[in-house]
Structures are given as C-alpha cells and as structure tokens.
Structure 1
Amino acid sequence: MNVYNAESISKILKGEILQQAGHPEIEHILLDSRKLNFAETSLFIPLVSARRDAHQYLAELYGKGVSNFVVSETPDLQKFPKATFILVKDTLQALHALVAAHRHQFHIPVIGITGSNGKTIVKEWLYQLLEKDYNIVRSPKSYNSQIGVPLSVWQMKPEHELAIFEAGISQPGEMVNLEKIIRPTIGIFTNIGEAHDEGFLNIRQKINEKLVLFMKSDVLIYCKDYLVLNECINTFHNQVGKKEGDNNMQLLTWSRKTEADIKILSIDKNDQHTRIDALYKNEPLHITIPFVDEGSIENAIHCWALMLFLGKSQEVIQDRMLTLGNIAMRLELKQGINNCSIINDSYNSDLGSLTIALDFLQQQRQHPTRTVILSDILQSGKSEATLYEEVAGLLEQQGIQKLVGIGKGIGREKRVFQQNPNLKSSFYNSTEEFLQNFNPQEYVNETILVKGARVFEFERIGKLLEQKAHQTILEINLNAIANNVQQYQALLKPGTKMMGMVKAFSYGSGSFEIANLLQFMGVDYLTVAYADEGVELRRAGITLPIMVMNPEPSSFDAILQWNLEPEIYSLHLFQLLEEEVRLSGKTQYPVHLKLDTGMHRLGFEKQDIPLLLQHLKEQDYFKVQSVFSHLAASEDPTKDAFTKKQATLFTEMSKEITQALGYPVLRHISNSAGISRHPELQFDMVRLGIGMYGVDNLPTMQEKLKNVSTLKTTIAQLKHIPAGEPVGYGAKWKSKEPATIATVRIGYADGYPRNLSNGKGKMLLHGQLVPVAGIIAMDMLMLDVTKVPQAAEGDEVIVFGEGLPVQELAAWADTIPYEILTGISQRVKRVYFQE
C-alpha cells in the first residue's frame, strides 16, 4: 500500500505544496479539531460550510502538535514554521479525491449498502454473520454521509479481506461522490421510503440517485416487492448493467409475492422467533431469527441473500442467523450507582467504534474521573502487541484515568497500559471473573464507558453499574439537539454569537448533559435562571461564560466564587451587587444589563438610563458584557408591529449605553422565534431556547427541527372489564362496552397533567392513540386499549415524542410545550443518547 506524505498526497489532489517541513507519514485524517487523537500522524482537512470555516482552527491544532494540513486558503506561513501545507481549490473535494485514491489500491469484495431504512442494521448483521470468515472493515456506527463515508473507507488496510460500507444521501448529486469512494463490487438496496424525501422531486428521482452507487457493481441484491424500486432497478440494469466484455451486472432478487431468485414461501412467528422458508435454485431452504418485527425480517432476508451469493453453506447460515443480536444504534448516557454516569456501548468492540465512543466520553465533564471497561478487540487483523499499543495511545490521548480490561488478549498486553503513569488499570480473564470480584465502592463519581464485543455479554456489567429506575424514562436525543442548534446557526449572519438557554434543568432535559453538548458545539454563552444552576454546571466542568437571569442577593457569594455573570435589572440590585464585589476585592466583574422594552417584567426602562450610566461611570467594579431585552410576542404575526416597536426602543436604549461605555458590548434581544421570524433583530448575539429542544411556531422552521425528547412508560397490568364498570378515582369514567384497561407507570407526580383525565389525554401504544381512562392518579393512570388487541403487560407506551409531538400534548392540556417539558419530575430518569 502507498505511503502517504506531502508529496504523494499533493500528487493525488493536484495541489500545491505551499510549505513543507520534513517527510512525516500520514495515517489519520482529521476533520474535527475537537477529536484529535494522533497529532504527529494526522492530516487536518478544514471543511468550509455556510456557517463555519474550519480554517480558523489551524493555529489551535498546530499548537497541539498537528503539522500536516490541506487548505483552500493560504495561511500566514510565518506562524507555522514547522508545518506542511497543501493548497487545493476545495477541501471537501480534496477529501473525496484522497480517499477514492486510497480505495483504488484494494482488490477485495466491497459491499455497498443504501436505501431508506435498515442500512446500519444490515451492515452490522453482516459483520456478525461473516466475522469468522473474513477480516472485515466496516463503517463505524452510521457513518454514511459525504463526510462519514470517506472516514469509513480510509480505514481500509492491507490486512482486510472484506469491506462493508453504507451510503446515505439527502439531495441529488451526492451519490456520485460516494460511488467513487466506496466503489462497491456487491450492492444491497434495502428498501425505499420517505426518509429525506424533501430533497427530491419524487420517489423515482430518489431511487435513481441512490442507484448511482452501483454503477460498477458485479451484483445488486434487492426486494422485488417494492414495485417502483423494481422498475427503476430494471431500467438501471438495462442502461448501465452491461460491464466490459460479456460480464453483466447480476441482479439477485427476493420476494414474498412473485417469482424471484429467492422466493419466500412462508414466514411463521412464534415466541420471539421467526422461521422464514424460501425456495432458492429449486431447493427449499429456511432460517430462524430471534426477532419478530417486520423490519428485522426484511433485514435478515437481505443478509441471507448475501450469504447465499457468497456460497455459504445452509448449515452455517442457519446456525449464525439464530445468533443474530440487537444492534446498539446509539451511545446511551445513563445515571449510574454512586453518582456515576454510564455510557453503554456493549454490543461491539473495534478500533473505529472505540474512537467514536471515546470522543463521546471526552465530551462528558461532569465527573473528575473517566473510566473505560474494555473487552478484547476481536478480528482486528493486527498483532495483539500492535493493536493494544494503539488502544493504549488512544486512552492516553483522551486522558482516561482508569481502565478495566476484560479478556485474555488485552490481559496479555497489560504491560503497554501499565507504562502510562496516569492510568490505573486492572485486568480480568472473563466477564464472569469481573462480576465475581465486582465491588461497587470502586466506582464513585466517575463517567464510565462500557465497551465490549458481543460475546463478552457486557450488558451484565451495565446492569450492575446503572442506577435502578422505575420504568418511566425521558429519552434525550443529543443528535437532535445538535441538529436543531445547527439549523438556527444557519440563519445567523457571520459573526453573530449564540447563547444557549439551559435554565429550568435545560427545559426539563437535564443541565450539565445539555451544557456539555453546547460547549462541545462551540456555543458562545449559556444562561441559567438561578445561581445554583450555574454552580452545578461549573462543578460539572462547564467553562463557558454563564449568565444568571435572577441573581438573588443571597446568591452573590456563589456567583463570585464560581465566576458566574449576573444580570442587573434595577439600580437597587446594582448597588447591592456593587457592594458585594467591592468587599470581594474584585474589579471589572462581568455583568449583563437587562432593559425593559415592553415586556414589563424585569429591566431598566428608558427613563432609568441616565442614572444607570452615572452609576456605571462612577465605579470600576463592573464591566458590562452585554445589554439585552426580551421580545414578548416574537412568534405571533399579529403582534409584529409591537415586536418592531420593542426593537426600535431597544436599539435606542442600547445605543445610548454602549456609546457612553466606550468599549465593545454585546447586544441581544432575539429568542428562538425571533431568530426564525425576525432575522433583522440578530444584533451581536441571539438566545436559543425552546427551538433547541425541537419546538418552533414557524411551520417552515419546525419542519427542519428534530424531536429531542421522548417520554415513555410501560404497561404494569391489563384488565378486561364488562360494560358499565367504572375506572379510577371518583368512578367518573365508565366503559360503554366490554373494555381492556391498561395501567401504566406514570402519574401527575411525574409531570403528566391531571387535567388530561377522562379521555382528554392520549398516548401511543403500538402506533395507535389510546385515551386516558378515568382520573389520573399520583403515580399511575389507566388507558383504554380495547382497540389494540396485541397489547401486553410490559409493552412500551409513548407519552410524547416521535409520532406524538409535545405540542399536541400541550394543546390537549390547554398549556404550552414549555410547561410540559419543564414539568417532568426529577424522579423520571433521563437517558441521553447519541446515534
């Protein structure tokens, strides 16, 4: 395989070497400055988007030891005397070209997977099914984008014997780039649905765009039962399926309804298993999988087809299909024992997914100690010495303080971990040995990553470490929050800062977990309502500036101790805080001035400004960081005249203050609705609140946001009652006909509004809305599930989330989403996940 250095990379990219310092070998591609692991061997390629130009991180990375850069604009070379720079026209195109050239060096089977759903599961199941036969490289998690695919394919090494990559697109023109990078020899088209439909004219355009991935493939596997998909593939095959010579692309089809290469004869579900019988080359075959849902059945048949194409024996296929396991589609962050936080990733263990999990662990700053419980890494293709030396380097780079190694392989190489004086390590031959020696007192106030190959059954370790909770939980999708923040950032003018509102327990979503993410994303400021919220964030490792909106005199000491920035909204508060700062011996302490422009809640009014400025000029204890106000009705088109009036008054008042102060001061008035509806009111900074959590009154903006919070519970008991029987307190609800009543584990003490009793509120069960029956009690309530005959005890019930927006629940309760979200009780455990 080619050695990558400045000369070879410049030749591939047709770039210009602006400056060269030495001839270091390049092994790693770095796209995110926050995810640096191996500085000396990394090549940083700064990507440029409408919102962010990563060239701004060159100096930071150079200071951390990175010396190889591909850039699209010439830097001041005198600032980087020991760095190599290659100049190209477009850094994203350069990334694609470099990885496409890397892929061209390999002549192994490469499986490319696309479709609307199931890509990641099919990829991971194929890995489970084939890992005994091949040394496999595959996409980490769901890395299938214009950036994720190059990072996946760059992992290809000479020791690999099979590659499995997935590809996803959101608009026309994207797949042609991914096809050059993946260049699959074997294709799988999982299915076609509505995901990302908004980027395409119609479903045919979307299918045809995805088919570009298979321009050079030898075989394409798909289900004929998607009629439009079948038509498009046959047309595609007739047009481009002819390869050089007489070697045509082969279509390997399966169907439940019509003739196909694999004709599905029957599907029988029984006790959490499904038997699938089929006819292939006139031979009856069958498999059994440990799943009964339709998605898993479809995904398994795709895998079955691939195994048959590769010539695997029916006996091997049957044995391995029966052992298919659940796929962890996300990294989950849960509350653990002894004030620990647990990141559970106990389904697979390889270097790619380990790096991703360590990056997620690195984001967590709420505890002083970061611990990794790691199993043997199987099927890496490297010698144990080389493999674990690389793992040890990753742990050292990420500042991991504790390692628990489980498995004979990692145990044999414990010497390489013990060489790190900052790493406390212990080793066990098996999961069973660890469990027998488990002492919960050894894990206190830590963030613990549980990362293991499936055969080690690390879910048993996770159960020991996770805090026991009742079965009502609030799931927080960190990817959705990141998406929502980026959607609002895309609306901002260059240079406009963003303040993230994390008051009221981050609108019910959790304080430091959300603040951690916002800090990682580069948000400029955070805001809390009270000082104790800010203190909690500081204790959790949050270093961003934090504004306190309600600084009570009793909290001044904590504000000064933890470097929080109070809002000042009256001369009385000004004088009280000034005295506290004076006694502390501090000067130029950061504060924020709140102006009342029509909300009439808190703030200086226009007539107060002269006296306020006089006080400011007579002291040296405060430095004003920002001047701001609050829009009262920015979401309401009928109140736009009032919003404009507020903005005019704010402009006048803030101008008078900033001119008098004589130094730069941030100005901000826009909230979430203001960002989307009033772009002219951005000033120097905006405050993002409810929009971050997926709620916006502007329909065009709401379409771009993702659901963040899902409140779910479970059925505790089912009862079958005759017509006329009362249900619940007061016997106010009676069934008109024989009914099935489900008692679920949530009540008004959990935050479910009591005024949703007697059918006013509804929940989702198996995709169907079911009404509340009777009066909501403190800890539980009843649902009429008569129309869902498959309901069973233990079934999951969605209170709000995807399919049942919190806005709809709020409307039923005659309130607003803010109240629902912030009203979720602290006894409801939060589970955070990153896909």
Structure 2
Amino acid sequence: MKISNSSLLAHFQSATGVCTDTRKIQKGNMFFALKGPNFNANALAEEALAKGASCAVIDDPAFETGENTLLVSDGLKALQDLATAYRNTLTIPIIGLTGSNGKTTTKELIFSVLSQQFHCFATSGNLNNHIGVPLSILSILPAHEIAVIEMGANKQGDIKELVDIAQPTHSLITNIGKAHLEGFGGESGVIKGKGELFDYVSAHGGIVFLPKEKNIVHQMSEERQITEVVLANSAMPTDLLEAKPYIRFSCADKTVVQSHLPGIYNFENIQMAIAVGKHFGLSDAQCKEGIATYQPTNHRSQYIKIGSNQVLMDAYNANPSSMQAAITHFAETDNEPKILILGDMFELGDLSAAEHEALGKLIASFSFEKVLLIGEHMQHALTHLPKAFYFPDKFGLHNWLQDHPIKSSYLLVKGSRGIQLESVLPFLAND
C-alpha cells in the first residue's frame, strides 16, 4: 500500500534528516531511493536500513522488506512533495536566488553577512537543482532563523519547479548571461527561464532585491509590476577602490573594507549581500565583517599558491559571460607573467563554435605569456590564437605540463564543470 504525503511528513518529523546516498547515511535518516539513467537506488533500500536509516522510501514494490520500507508512486516526486509540505510548516524568511553567473558566490556572501546576526541556513555546495533544492529545504532546522536557497536551471520550467517547492519570501537574480544556451534556446530563453523566479513573486507577493546599476534584471521586475523592491544602492553606500587582485572598497563613514574576492565583477555581488543584510536589520559593522571574513572555496574565484606559482582557480563552471569577465579581470592585474589555462564551455548548442571563436578573439586582444586551451570546442578559439597550445583533453595538458614545467607565474584556470580543470594543480607544483 502506498503511503500518503501526510504520513511521509510525520515520518520526516521524527527522523534525523533525509539522505539519498547510502554512503552518507546517518542513524535515523529517511532514505529516498531515487532512480537515474544508470542506477536504481531501490536496490539499496535494505542496505540503507542496515546502516541505520529509520525508513526507506521506494517506488518499486519488488524491494519492499517490511514496515520500514515506504512505497510511493515516484521517489523523486515524493521527495519534492515532502519538501513542499515541510516548507509549508516554516515561518522564517526564505531568500530564493538564481542567475547566470555569480549565484553561488552571492549566496555565500549573503550567508556570511546574515550569519553575523542570525542562525542562518544556506544551500550547501551546489545543491541547487530538482533534487538539491528539496534536500536543502528539508535540511532547514527549527533553530534556523532565515534561509538562502540557491536555484539553478538548464532550461525553461526548471526555476518554476523549484520556486513552487521553496516558496521564497524574498528573491534575487544576480544577472542574465550566456549560460545553458542549448537548454534555454538562446538568450531570450535564459531571460524567460530565470524570470520564473519573479513570476512567482508577481503571483504570490514578496520582496525583490535589485542591483545598483539598472540592467535587464530591473526591467524584468518592472515588466511584472513588482513594487516591493530593495535597491542595492539604498543600502550601505560603497565605492570600489581596487580589484587587483582583491576587491577593496570604502564606505560612507570613510572606513575601508578589504575582501578576499578578486575581480570587479564580484563587486556587485558584494553590494547585493550588503543590501540583503541591511534589509534584515544588520548594522554597517556587521555587514562589513560578513564581507571581510568571507573566503572563497570550491575552486570559485579562489587564489591558490602552489609551488612558485599563483593560481586564480575559477574552474567550477564557465560560460561566455563569466569567461569574458574573468579573462578581462585577469588581463588587467599587475602580475606577470600571466598564463591562461582554459577548458571548453559546455551547453551552448549551435552557438558553441561562434562563442568559442569570440572567446579566442577576446583573448587575442590582450597580451598573455601563454594560452593553453583544452577540449573539443576550444579548437574554434584557435582561429584568432595561432600561437596558443591546444589539447583535445586535459590529459594531454597534464603530459605537456610535466615536460614543460611552469614556474614563478600567475595563472587563470577556468572551464566548465565537466572538464574538472582543478586536476592541473598537481602539475603546477614546481619549486
């Protein structure tokens, strides 16, 4: 017999949390057996129970083993429905955040700022999809006073699915850029898809945070006639002093804040985090502390000293917009010699060749000591970079680096997540 949503919620409220990975089961967890193209976790239900799970939610009756296996029609939908039901029991502010670039950094900055005063929850890592958002909602504890939920999307309809689960009271779109163009069907599709967050606000009410400089995000808010808005320039006034290598800015009281974030493109993310903090009643001093103490991690805008080299590791993801921003910032820094290690930008569809060629043209407008390009799509950048070193895959790059050690240099490493270019780090550790 299949279990009802209300019964699932009762099981969850007596459990110690939710888990979808038997390798991470903790005693008392609910285990959700999800299916994918290459796996069927229903077969792991018995293992999860043996490891201490309070129950296992399955959608295949062949794996029922007793009262601790709870049968549902669809495991993923049951997880999402449970998250929605649990969300409806929460009364805290929930900030829903999306955007083409910078959403994870902005989420982490907001978390760092709000944590100066509140017991704050934020999406862990990159759990921002149709599985990650439900898991995030279900990780909010009764003690949490505010939550920041990151939402990612590959196509139109994705954000709508996530906001219907998270039901944000406050919303923020970092920017609109050239990301996941294949799934969205071009830039207009990106605008429509990301705009699903503001569609929710328009239909259900809530507050929208908008950047200081008027841009397409402002237009998206105006088109939906959203009136409850907080502008970043109405918060603590800030003036950018420098961004080489790290952002340093001054405040209205003449104090100066030194951050650990590189690149002028991150200054708007800082301003947005301050706007959120001020809206929720934090003092200027608390906002400054939240920004100053934030340290980038997970290979996002992260400086790493390895051997005699200094690496700006920004290899968590890449699209034309973020590539342009990162390369331009890197070119404008004072350090020499500068070397680029760049991997393919994925999910660009029919625009891939043109976007990679345009990237090559951008790189050619600067003077870099070396340019190392990796991946099938990057060959299109060679049109404008006849002296660049090209490798069909990162393993060819690894071999080349072993034979041609790079020392005492300043490097930007960036590429799409699928390439995992952080693998080059051991090959840059030359004394």
TM-score when normalising by structure 1: 0.38
Please state if 1:269 is matched with 2:258.
Answer: no
- Take 1:263 and 1:136, find their aligned partners in 2: how far apart are those partners? 21
- Take 1:814 and 1:327, find their aligned partners in 2: how far apart are those partners? 29
Please state if 1:134 is matched with 2:118.
Answer: yes
Whether contact under 8 Å (1:330, 1:833) holds in the other structure is no
Determine the structure 1 residue equivalent to 2:223. Answer: 235
Using the aligned pairs only, state the percent identity.
21
Please state if 1:817 is matched with 2:392.
Answer: yes
- 1:144 CA displacement: 0.9
Letter in 1 for 2:30: L
Q: Cα distance 1:307–1:472, how it changes in 2: closer, same or farther (>3 A)?
A: closer
Please state whether the residue corresponding to 2:44 is helix, strand or coil: helix
- 1:297 CA displacement: 0.5
Which of the residues 135, 141, 148 maps onto 1:157?
141
Q: Deviations over 1:329-383 (max 9, x none)?
A: 349xxxxxxxxxxxxxxx9xxxxxxxxxxxxxxxxxxxxxxxxxxxxxxxxxxxx
Letter in 2 for 1:328: T
Letter in 2 for 1:122: T
Letter in 2 for 1:168: G
- Take 2:100 and 2:118, find their aligned partners in 1: how far apart are those partners? 27
Which of the residues 43, 46, 52 maps onto 2:39?
52
Letter in 2 for 1:313: S
Q: Cα distance 1:287–1:177, how it changes in 2: closer, same or farther (>3 A)?
A: farther
- Take 1:266 and 1:46, find their aligned partners in 2: how far apart are those partners? 50
Please state if 1:471 is matched with 2:47.
Answer: no
How do 1:565-604 and structure 2 match up within 5 A?
none
Q: Cα distance 1:86–1:824, how it changes in 2: closer, same or farther (>3 A)?
A: same
Q: Which has the larger radius of gyration?
A: 1
Whether contact under 8 Å (1:137, 1:163) holds in the other structure is yes
Whether contact under 8 Å (1:46, 1:70) holds in the other structure is yes
Which of the residues 293, 300, 307 maps onto 2:270?
300
Which of the residues 345, 364, 368 maps onto 1:769?
364
- 1:171 CA displacement: 1.6
- Take 1:117 and 1:228, find their aligned partners in 2: how far apart are those partners? 14
Whether contact under 8 Å (1:108, 1:163) holds in the other structure is yes
Which of the residues 2, 5, 14 maps onto 1:12?
5
Whether contact under 8 Å (1:207, 1:229) holds in the other structure is no
Q: Cα distance 1:88–1:766, how it changes in 2: closer, same or farther (>3 A)?
A: same
How do 1:747-786 and structure 2 match up within 5 A?
768-769=363-364
Letter in 2 for 1:198: E
- 1:11 CA displacement: 3.7
- 1:13 CA displacement: 5.5
Determine the structure 2 residue equivalent to 1:26. Answer: 15
**Bigger Cα displacement from structure 2, 204-213 vs 181-190:** 204-213
Letter in 1 for 2:196: E
Q: How many residues align?
A: 371
Please state if 1:221 is matched with 2:209.
Answer: yes
TM-score when normalising by structure 2: 0.69
Determine the structure 2 residue equivalent to 1:71. Answer: 58
Please state if 1:325 is matched with 2:294.
Answer: yes
Q: Cα distance 1:470–1:44, how it changes in 2: closer, same or farther (>3 A)?
A: same
Please state whether the residue corresponding to 2:97 is helix, strand or coil: strand
- 1:310 CA displacement: 1.7
- Take 2:268 and 2:309, find their aligned partners in 1: how far apart are those partners? 30
- 1:299 CA displacement: 0.4
- Take 1:813 and 1:230, find their aligned partners in 2: how far apart are those partners? 40
- 1:138 CA displacement: 1.3
**Bigger Cα displacement from structure 2, 801-810 vs 175-184:** 801-810
- Take 1:188 and 1:144, find their aligned partners in 2: how far apart are those partners? 14
- 1:56 CA displacement: 3.1
Please state if 1:110 is matched with 2:94.
Answer: yes
Please state whether the residue corresponding to 2:160 is helix, strand or coil: helix
Determine the structure 1 residue equivalent to 2:348. Answer: none
- Take 1:476 and 1:123, find their aligned partners in 2: how far apart are those partners? 17
- Take 2:231 and 2:340, find their aligned partners in 1: how far apart are those partners? 46
- 1:110 CA displacement: 1.8
Q: Cα distance 1:63–1:226, how it changes in 2: closer, same or farther (>3 A)?
A: same
Please state if 1:101 is matched with 2:85.
Answer: yes
- Take 2:363 and 2:390, find their aligned partners in 1: how far apart are those partners? 23
Letter in 2 for 1:85: T
- Take 1:745 and 1:183, find their aligned partners in 2: how far apart are those partners? 41
- 1:768 CA displacement: 2.3
Please state if 1:800 is matched with 2:373.
Answer: yes
- Take 1:315 and 1:24, find their aligned partners in 2: how far apart are those partners? 38
Which of the residues 109, 130, 142 maps onto 1:125?
109
Determine the structure 2 residue equivalent to 1:628. Answer: none
- 1:277 CA displacement: 6.0
- Take 2:340 and 2:145, find their aligned partners in 1: how far apart are those partners? 50
- Take 1:209 and 1:194, find their aligned partners in 2: how far apart are those partners? 17
Determine the structure 2 residue equivalent to 1:250. Answer: 228
- Take 1:268 and 1:24, find their aligned partners in 2: how far apart are those partners? 49
Q: Cα distance 1:470–1:235, how it changes in 2: closer, same or farther (>3 A)?
A: same
How do 1:626-775 and structure 2 match up within 5 A?
742=337, 768-769=363-364
- Take 2:380 and 2:191, find their aligned partners in 1: how far apart are those partners? 34
Q: Deviations over 1:231-284 (max 9, x none)?
A: 221122x3xx5xxxxxxx5111246xxxxx469785432774433567xxxxx9
Q: Cα distance 1:213–1:52, how it changes in 2: closer, same or farther (>3 A)?
A: farther
- Take 1:140 and 1:251, find their aligned partners in 2: how far apart are those partners? 27
Please state whether the residue corresponding to 1:308 is helix, strand or coil: helix
Letter in 2 for 1:769: A
- Take 2:254 and 2:208, find their aligned partners in 1: how far apart are those partners? 21
Aligned-residue Cα RMSD (Å) equals 4.8
- Take 2:310 and 2:240, find their aligned partners in 1: how far apart are those partners? 34
- Take 1:287 and 1:768, find their aligned partners in 2: how far apart are those partners? 33
Please state whether the residue corresponding to 2:309 is helix, strand or coil: coil
Which of the residues 148, 170, 190 maps onto 2:174?
190
- 1:218 CA displacement: 2.6
- Take 1:63 and 1:319, find their aligned partners in 2: how far apart are those partners? 45
Determine the structure 2 residue equivalent to 1:367. Answer: none
Please state whether the residue corresponding to 1:823 is helix, strand or coil: helix
Letter in 1 for 2:296: I
Determine the structure 2 residue equivalent to 1:758. Answer: none
- Take 1:308 and 1:833, find their aligned partners in 2: how far apart are those partners? 41
- 1:180 CA displacement: 3.0
Higher relative contact order, structure no. (Cα contacts within 8 Å, ≥ 6 residues apart): 2
Please state whether the residue corresponding to 2:79 is helix, strand or coil: helix
- 1:118 CA displacement: 1.6
- Take 1:188 and 1:743, find their aligned partners in 2: how far apart are those partners? 35
Q: Cα distance 1:235–1:60, how it changes in 2: closer, same or farther (>3 A)?
A: same
- Take 1:325 and 1:287, find their aligned partners in 2: how far apart are those partners? 16
Whether contact under 8 Å (2:30, 2:53) holds in the other structure is yes
Q: Deviations over 1:464-497 (max 9, x none)?
A: xxxx6343989897x89xxxxxxxxxxxxxxxxx
- 1:163 CA displacement: 1.3
Please state if 1:169 is matched with 2:153.
Answer: yes
- Take 1:224 and 1:85, find their aligned partners in 2: how far apart are those partners? 52
Unaligned 5+ runs, structure 1: 1-5, 242-248, 256-260, 279-283, 332-346, 348-458, 481-702, 708-713, 720-740, 747-763, 771-786
Whether contact under 8 Å (1:288, 1:318) holds in the other structure is yes
Please state whether the residue corresponding to 1:137 is helix, strand or coil: strand
Letter in 2 for 1:26: A
Q: Cα distance 1:66–1:273, how it changes in 2: closer, same or farther (>3 A)?
A: closer
Letter in 1 for 2:298: M
Please state whether the residue corresponding to 1:194 is helix, strand or coil: coil
- Take 1:816 and 1:30, find their aligned partners in 2: how far apart are those partners? 39
Q: Cα distance 1:66–1:210, how it changes in 2: closer, same or farther (>3 A)?
A: same
